């Protein structure tokens, strides 16, 4: 691209001229709050759409081996869909504490706190009415010489959903101008000690949202160990090896190959926290966590993170609800790969710490990098 400057025609790299992301209306909540949608685009075919309700990833379009684009995440066409009982945390920012807290109770600085029980007999994903996925966030779009982004902010008041302290949360989505990747970064501060564990709850099917199954996808997890759970999916406190179990994804394996061995367990399939192996390269900010591949489209998804764990969930409660563009979200037709601290960490001293204190800043980053598998990788 060229510009006239001081009477001289000069060349200006296109990436230096990135425009701020598009923003439009996405309707209103049932109580009348306006919801906005931000659209982020790369120069290489990735498009992400994120709404202010729940700082939620609504659409994520990426190309296949033939250059054909498809939306690879589950969601709804309107706010009403996200407010319905059919929404199983599709694409949202999850917290204050993602995953489960045993019996909705924890003790902090000598005081016991009681939270909502919304996953009998436990607390799940931050609560019922005012968890982070259900509130409308403030948003600011931005751009720079590297790409486009949107920054969401929300202050959860002291006592909201039973949690102590006023928690200021910021979630930033960023799409680099080059390549096909999406970066999500989290920050939080508090005025009282409080547990914090934030993640994104996107449901992925790399063949395209609404495809019949995800059991034919291939998966690798950078985890030699996992956290076993009781019959209510609360960690026992142990950390055990995945070797010689259906949970061994240390090498690329088909998701459906051994899932039947877990169908009759409490998890009803895969719904487990994996303990990520320690970083081998201390110079890199992010640690490789997971690689997902769909042979039919050639799409791959590589996930890297600063978090110590990742929850692999195989869509065991999907029930054929109608989503975007009338697509059906069938049983086990998507996976969630949620980077996180371990479930119920607030009640396990030996797990990575989730307590944020005044004067500290919670920070976390996860990168989703899409690519195309080489022909030899199909086998």
The CATH number given to whatever domain includes residue 334 is 2.70.98.10
Is residue 290 included in any domain, yes or no?
yes
CA 103, chain centre distance (Å): 24
Q: Please determine, for residue 9, whether its predicted confidence score (pLDDT) is greater than 80.
A: no
Instruction: Find the mean pLDDT for residues 351-370.
Output: 98
The pLDDT of residue 371:
98
**Residue 31 belongs to domain spanning:** 13-378
- 103: pLDDT confidence band, cut at 50, 70 and 90? very high
| Nearest of 226, 205, 288, 294 to residue 254 by alpha carbon | 294
Instruction: Find the mean pLDDT for residues 75-84.
Output: 98
Q: pLDDT tens, 218-236?
A: 999 999 999 999 999 999 9
- 376: pLDDT confidence band, cut at 50, 70 and 90? low
Q: Please determine, for residue 375, whether its predicted confidence score (pLDDT) is greater than 80.
A: no
- 1: pLDDT confidence band, cut at 50, 70 and 90? very low
The pLDDT of residue 279:
81
> Cis peptide leading into 96, omega within 30 of 0?
yes
The whole-angstrom separation of Cα 7 and Cα 95 is 54
What is the gyration radius of the CA atoms in the chain, in angstroms? 21
Q: How many domains does the chain have?
A: 1
Q: Please determine, for residue 334, whether its predicted confidence score (pLDDT) is greater than 80.
A: yes
Is residue 4 included in any domain, yes or no?
no
- Residues marked active site are found at 201, 338
Q: Which residues contact 269 (CB under 8 A, 6 or more apart)?
A: 259, 262, 263, 314, 315, 316, 332
Is residue 353 included in any domain, yes or no?
yes
The pLDDT of residue 260:
98
Instruction: Find the mean pLDDT for residues 65-76.
Output: 98
Helix extents (H) in 32-97: 79-83
Which residues in 195-210 are b (16+ Cβ under 10 Å) and which e?
bbbbbbbbbbbbbbbb
The pLDDT of residue 307:
98
Is residue 3 included in any domain, yes or no?
no
The pLDDT of residue 378:
54
Q: Please determine, for residue 379, whether its predicted confidence score (pLDDT) is greater than 90.
A: no
Is residue 5 included in any domain, yes or no?
no
| Nearest of 374, 366, 370, 373 to residue 173 by alpha carbon | 366
- 366: pLDDT confidence band, cut at 50, 70 and 90? very high
The pLDDT of residue 5:
43
Instruction: Find the mean pLDDT for residues 114-141.
Output: 98
Q: Please determine, for residue 2, whether its predicted confidence score (pLDDT) is greater than 50.
A: no
% pLDDT > 90, the chain: 92
Least confident of 13-22, 71-80, 291-300, 322-331: 13-22
**Residue labelled with tokens 């996953």:** 119
Q: How many of the other CB atoms lie within 10 Å of CB of 322?
A: 14
Q: Please determine, for residue 281, whether its predicted confidence score (pLDDT) is greater than 80.
A: no
The pLDDT of residue 377:
58
The pLDDT of residue 284:
75
Instruction: Find the mean pLDDT for residues 171-184.
Output: 98
Instruction: Find the mean pLDDT for residues 326-340.
Output: 98
Q: Please determine, for residue 16, whether its predicted confidence score (pLDDT) is greater than 80.
A: no
Q: Which residue has the higher pLDDT, 179 or 13?
A: 179
- 87: pLDDT confidence band, cut at 50, 70 and 90? very high
Chain mean pLDDT for the chain: 94
Is residue 7 included in any domain, yes or no?
no
Q: Which residues contact 366 (CB under 8 A, 6 or more apart)?
A: 183, 184, 199, 200, 286, 289, 303, 304, 305, 306, 307, 339
């Amino acid at each position: 691209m060229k510009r006239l400057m001081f009477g001289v025609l000069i060349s200006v790299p296109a990436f230096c001229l990135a425009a701020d992301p598009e923003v439009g209306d996405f309707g209103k909540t049932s109580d009348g709050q306006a919801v906005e949608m931000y659209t982020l685009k790369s120069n290489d075919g990735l498009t992400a759409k994120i709404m202010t309700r729940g700082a939620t990833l609504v659409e994520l379009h990426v190309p296949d081996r033939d250059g054909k684009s498809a939306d690879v995440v589950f969601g709804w066409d309107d706010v009403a869909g996200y407010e319905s009982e059919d929404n199983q945390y599709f694409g949202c920012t999850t917290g204050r504490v993602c995953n489960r807290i045993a019996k909705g109770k924890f003790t902090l600085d000598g005081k016991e706190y009681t939270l909502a029980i919304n996953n009998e007999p436990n607390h799940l994903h931050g609560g019922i009415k005012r968890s982070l996925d259900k509130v409308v966030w403030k948003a600011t779009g931005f751009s720079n010489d590297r790409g486009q982004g949107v920054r969401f902010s929300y202050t959860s008041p002291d006592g909201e959903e039973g949690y102590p302290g006023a928690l200021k949360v910021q979630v930033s989505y960023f799409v680099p101008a080059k390549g096909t990747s999406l970066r999500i970064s989290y920050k939080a501060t508090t005025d009282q000690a409080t547990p914090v564990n934030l993640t994104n709850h996107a449901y992925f099917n790399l063949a395209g949202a609404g495809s019949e199954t995800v059991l034919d996808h291939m998966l690798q997890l950078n985890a030699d160990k996992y956290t076993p759970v009781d019959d209510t999916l609360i960690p026992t406190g142990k950390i055990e090896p995945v070797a010689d179990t259906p949970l061994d994804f240390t090498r690329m394996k088909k998701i459906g190959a051994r899932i039947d061995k877990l169908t009759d367990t409490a998890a009803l399939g895969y719904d487990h926290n994996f303990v990520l192996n320690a970083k081998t390269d201390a110079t890199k900010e992010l640690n490789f966590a997971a690689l997902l591949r769909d042979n039919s489209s050639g799409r791959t998804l590589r996930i890297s993170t600063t978090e110590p764990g990742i929850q692999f969930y195989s869509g065991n409660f999907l029930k054929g609800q109608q989503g975007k563009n009338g697509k059906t979200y069938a049983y086990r037709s998507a996976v969630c790969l949620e980077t996180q601290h371990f479930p119920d960490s607030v009640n396990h001293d030996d797990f990575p710490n989730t307590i944020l204190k005044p004067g500290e800043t919670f920070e976390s980053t996860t990168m989703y990098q899409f690519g195309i598998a080489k022909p030899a990788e199909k086998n």
